Structure formats: structure tokens, C-alpha cells
Chains A and B, each alone.
Chain A
Amino acid sequence: MTDTIWVYAELSDDKITTTSLEMLAKAGEVGKAEAILLGPASDDAVKTLAEHGASQIYRCADAVYRDYLTLPAAETVAGLIEEHKPAVMLFASSYAGRDLVANLSARLDCGAITDVGDFELKDGSVEATIPALGASYQNTTTLVNQGTKLLVVRPKSFEPKVNEQPLSIEEVPAASVEGLRKVHMKDRIAIKREGPSLEGAKIVISGGRGLKGEENFAMLKELADVLGGAVGASRAAVDAGWVPYAMQIGQTGKTVKPDVYFAIGISGAVQHLSGMKTAKYIITINKDPESPIFQYSDFGVVGDLFKVVPQLIEELKKRKGA
């Protein structure tokens, strides 16, 4: 019997998120891929799911899922899980995905595995690979509950695949139980950004504790501008308040997979490595030759970043001009 694997599909600017498509690709490899899509969405967004392998789409376009967080979606998904009993349900390690899994794992008393990098099904039980303690250990974890296994998947764990299925939609009724309209989404504020997004950038320049202060991130921005990249940061720099959380790369921040990753003044704490170690090339600048980050670098310079970075910027400008 083929196992049914559900994917909780998410939207961003009325487009299905890349992570949703990545999960669909994996679901289709392991079993029969199906998707849940809640909230207002265009026909194109719905079609994208079928084009990427969803053989069945459960959907409800009601605005309650957009305007009220977590509780309406949890009510609907819990009902669908109890009715259809998929073997596995996948959620992105996103804000909405984590909110939803947290609620469902308690409501269904089934637990969940978070931070999943890969998984397989063996006789109905799931074996998930997760990096415990950042990247220095990895473990294989299973869930021993009866029924559906909930997994929270790291972005960029799988490659999205075009695998067109006939469009098959089942409309589900909107959650209408009393008391679900509690966490009210009042406004969405977009902060204007120049240059590529961190997740999409081919080149990422990250700074850590070695940057010594907020003002020195301007130097990384200049390097990013010269190379057409984006600026990220380690948790140390975020916790110090130098840059916002949105720039944090690592296990509790963003996962990036650029062509070139610059780790500047970053020691390479395990929690940071798990967010960037799959970059094609890693370039490191650090004054401490013992920093673990050098174990992961393709090219490293042991030296003072305040000398090396300006020289690099100058050299790049020179070569550009030539």
C-alpha cells in the first residue's frame, strides 16, 4: 500500500513557497503526495501544487485562515488528519508551520520531530535525520505515536520537481467553531530591502561577534554590493543587537545555500554551521586559526578582518573597473 504524505502548503505574495514545493518533491518520492492549502489563493497558486506533484489538494479559501493565526488552521487540519489519517504530514520550518505543528502535536497528543533534514518510511514508521546540537552531531529520530507523524522540515532540504498531476481539488468547509478568532493579524508591514533576499542570494556575506559593533556591518554591506550579494549574521551578532533577527543564519535563523558564503568574524558555532554548511564555497576571515569555521572553509584567511575586508573591497572594485 502506498503511504499518503501530506504537505501543508504555504503562500507568500500569492505564490506557493519554495519550501512547500521542496516538501512535495520528497513526499512524491516516498509515497502519494497530497497538499493542504488554507486561505485565499489564486487558481495559479493552486495549479502550482498539482504541477509539482500534489495528486490531491484539500483546500478552503476562507479569509479566516489569513486574518486569524494558528487556531482556525489547526482546527481544520486536525479534523482532516482524523478523517483521512495520512502516514506523514510535513510542515515547513517557517513561522506559520511551527505555530501549527506546535498546536497539532499537543492537540493530537502525537508529538512531532522538528528540524528534519531528511526522512524515510520503514514499515509505516518514520525515520528522520536531524542535526542535533547544530551540525556537530546528527541523529535519527522516530515517532512512536499511533497515527499520523508530524515532521517540521528545514528549508532547502530537497529539490523542487515538476511532476504534473491532474488537478484534483476537494473543498473543505471553513473552521467555524467558537473561539478560533483570537490571534488577529491586523497588519502586514513590509520593510523595504535593497539587493537580493538572503535566501535567494548567490553570494552571502555574514558577520559575527568579530565585527565588534553595529557600525561595522556597513563594511559588509559594501562588500555585498560589490559582489551583488546579501548580508547575514550569526546569532552572536543578533543577540548583541547589532542587526535584526531577520538576518540571522543558523539553526534558529535562516538556512542559506548560496554559491559563495563569507563567514567573517564568525567562529563557526554549531548552531551557525547548520544554516550555511551546504554552501558551494565557504570563505572565512578570522583572527583565530583554531576557530572551527576553518574546518569547513574552502578558502580561509587568518587575519584581522578590518584589514582584509577593505583590501578585498578595493581589489574587487579595481578588477571591476579594469
Chain B
Amino acid sequence: MNIVVCGKVIPASTVTIEIDPNTKRMMRKGVPHELDPAAASAVEEGLRLTEKHGGAVTLVTMGTSDATIGIRNALAMGAASAVHILDDAVAGSDTLGTAKILAAAIKQQEFDLVICATESSDSYSGIVWGQIAYFLGIPPVTFAKEIAVEDRKITIKRQSEAGYDVVESSLPALVACSSGINEPRYPQLKGIMAAKKKEIKIYKAADLGLSPDDVGEKGAREKVLAIGRPPKRQAGKAVADEGEGGKQIAEFLAEIKVI
């Protein structure tokens, strides 16, 4: 079973991302990057399925040259190869443009299943998977907290308000998995060495047959008009605990008449 994992390489969680007031985009360039933890979970899920059913995992990602470190991480975890859409023309793409590019790149691969995270950890728009599924013409099974594959069928436990739903689809399909679906493995030395020899295919949007009008800033339906800081909440009182902290909270609860 061949699996494509779509994931992002993002500024490391230790970095405070600023926004460029001119382009109104996140300033991602030049800061330390890492494989998005949500994408790492998607890779892990792919690896577990191929370990059980055979086949290989291919990572498909879009980003600047800063993404390479994260791609290597996915390869070191065990992905067999990677596809990197590296093209200045795709900068400023919105969700729709991103999905068109990723879907076009996925179409060049052989796959039975596409795995995405429900949302990335830096922009959280959380709909790209559904757009990709539409462009690939495959059913989306989403918000998965557990995935099983058997007899060309995928069955998931899907998050619900009340608990979970059992949802099933035939393959090929796209599955979007929730954060915390698994604990991604750490790459071992052997994997890190092997990763150096694995192939990273680089594509530009034009290589995928996409017109410049469909992608990047030009193709974007979403336009940011203004960006700013929201009004700050007035900070209240803070005390250092000198052995009475718990009692002081109880006193505050009494003051606001909660107890």
C-alpha cells in the first residue's frame, strides 16, 4: 500500500513569528524550521500502516529552502522519498492555491491513501485536506483519532462532540488525522544516515502544469486587508505564592461570588 503524506515544515515552536506589515505574511524566512508536529504524526501514521501492509511513504510538501531540514527529518523517520514544491511563484498562496499545487504533485505519485494532518501548527486554516480530496476526486475521511486499513477499506474513529463515530470508505481515499493520534518516533542514527541518500524531487508549479494565475498571490481568493494587534485584556492582580496561594484564589472566588 503506497501512501502519500502531505505535511508542512514550519518555523520551530521556539520562534515567535512576526508578520511583515507590507506583505501581511508570516515572516518565515531565515528562522529555524522543523517538521510540523502535526505532519510528524501523519508521517508516523503512514509508516505504521506500511509496516503492517507493505508499501512506502512519500512526503509531499511545499515551502522555501528552509523546509529541507524537516523533509530530511521525515525521511529519517522512514519515509522512502519526498516531493518538494520549491518555487517563488507559489509564495502567498491561500488554502485553495495550496491545495491545487499539492493535489497536482500527488497525482504524479502512485498512492492508495493520502494522509494529512487536520491542520498545520502555524496557520491552522484546517481545510486544505478537503480541497485536496476534491481535486483528487477521492473521498475524505476526516478528524481521525484511530485508523485501520483492511481489504482495500479504511475505517476510522472520527472525533465527535459526543465521543466518536465509526466511519468507513473504500480506497483510494484521503484521511485527515487529529493531533495526538500517535507519538511520532524519533529518527535513529541509521535512519538519519539512510535519509541522506533518499531522493527529494523538486518541482516548480509550472512542472505540475499549473498556470501562474492559479497559484501564489495572484491565484489567491483570500486577501488580507489589514493586520494588527487585538485590544489587550487588562491584566489583573498577580501574587507570588508564599504558602497561601490556594487560599487567596478561594478568596478571589468569594469576591466574584462564584462560591
A contact residues vs B (CB 8 Å cutoff): 12, 69-71, 94-95, 98-99, 101-103, 105-107, 109-115, 127, 131-133, 135-145, 152, 182-191, 203, 227, 235, 238-239, 241, 244-246, 248, 251-252, 259-260, 271, 277, 281-285, 289, 294-304, 307-316, 319-320
Q: How far is the CB of B97 from chain A (nearest CB, A)?
A: 9
Cβ-defined partner of B246 (8 Å) among A131, A281, A308: A308
B248 within 8 A of A: yes
How would you classify the secondary structure of chain B's contact residues: helix, strand, loop or mixed? mixed
Given the known interface contacts A138-B229, A295-B232, the answer about A308 and B241 at a Cβ–Cβ threshold of 8 Å is yes
Binds A, one of B62-70, B74-82, B178-186: B178-186
Given the known interface contacts A144-B223, A244-B180, the answer about A184 and B168 at a Cβ–Cβ threshold of 8 Å is yes
Contact A106 B249 (CB under 8 A): no
Contact B220 A319 (CB under 8 A): no
Contact B133 A103 (CB under 8 A): yes
In the bound complex, CA of A257 to CA of B128 (Å)? 28
Given the known interface contacts A107-B134, A111-B94, A139-B226, the answer about A245 and B180 at a Cβ–Cβ threshold of 8 Å is yes
Instruction: Specify which chain B residues have a CB less than 8 angstroms from the CB of A302 in the assembled complex.
Output: 238-241
Contact A136 B140 (CB under 8 A): no
User: 13 A-B residue contacts at CB 8 Å?
Assistant: A102-B129, A102-B130, A102-B133, A105-B96, A136-B230, A138-B229, A139-B227, A188-B162, A189-B157, A227-B253, A241-B180, A302-B240, A312-B246
Contact A260 B230 (CB under 8 A): no
B24 within 8 A of A: yes
Contact A189 B165 (CB under 8 A): yes
Binds A, one of B52-60, B117-125, B189-197, B199-207: B117-125
Given the known interface contacts A114-B127, A302-B239, A302-B241, the answer about A182 and B139 at a Cβ–Cβ threshold of 8 Å is yes
Contact A143 B167 (CB under 8 A): no
Contact A299 B252 (CB under 8 A): yes
Residues of B in contact (CB 8 Å), total 84
Cβ-defined partner of A106 (8 Å) among B134, B145, B252: B134
Closest to A197 in B: B161
Q: How far is the CB of A258 from chain B (nearest CB, A)?
A: 10
Instruction: Specify which chain B residues have a CB less than 8 angstroms from the CB of A71 in the assembled complex.
Output: 139
In the bound complex, CA of A133 to CA of B229 (Å)? 11
Given the known interface contacts A260-B256, A309-B246, the answer about A106 and B131 at a Cβ–Cβ threshold of 8 Å is yes
Contact B250 A203 (CB under 8 A): no
**Residues 214-240 (chain B) with a chain A CB within 8 angstroms:** 220-230, 232-233, 235-240
B209 within 8 A of A: no
Contact B127 A297 (CB under 8 A): no
Closest to B226 in A: A140
B26 within 8 A of A: yes
In the bound complex, CA of A303 to CA of B228 (Å)? 33
Q: Point out which of B17, B26, B133, B222 has the most chain A C-beta atoms below 10 A from its C-beta.
A: B222
Contact B124 A271 (CB under 8 A): yes
In the bound complex, CA of A259 to CA of B128 (Å)? 35
Q: How far is the CB of A79 from chain B (nearest CB, A)?
A: 15
Contact B179 A238 (CB under 8 A): yes
Contact with A along B134-171 (1 / 0, CB 8 A): 11000111110100000000010111111111111110
Contact B246 A111 (CB under 8 A): no
Contact A246 B168 (CB under 8 A): no
Closest to B131 in A: A106
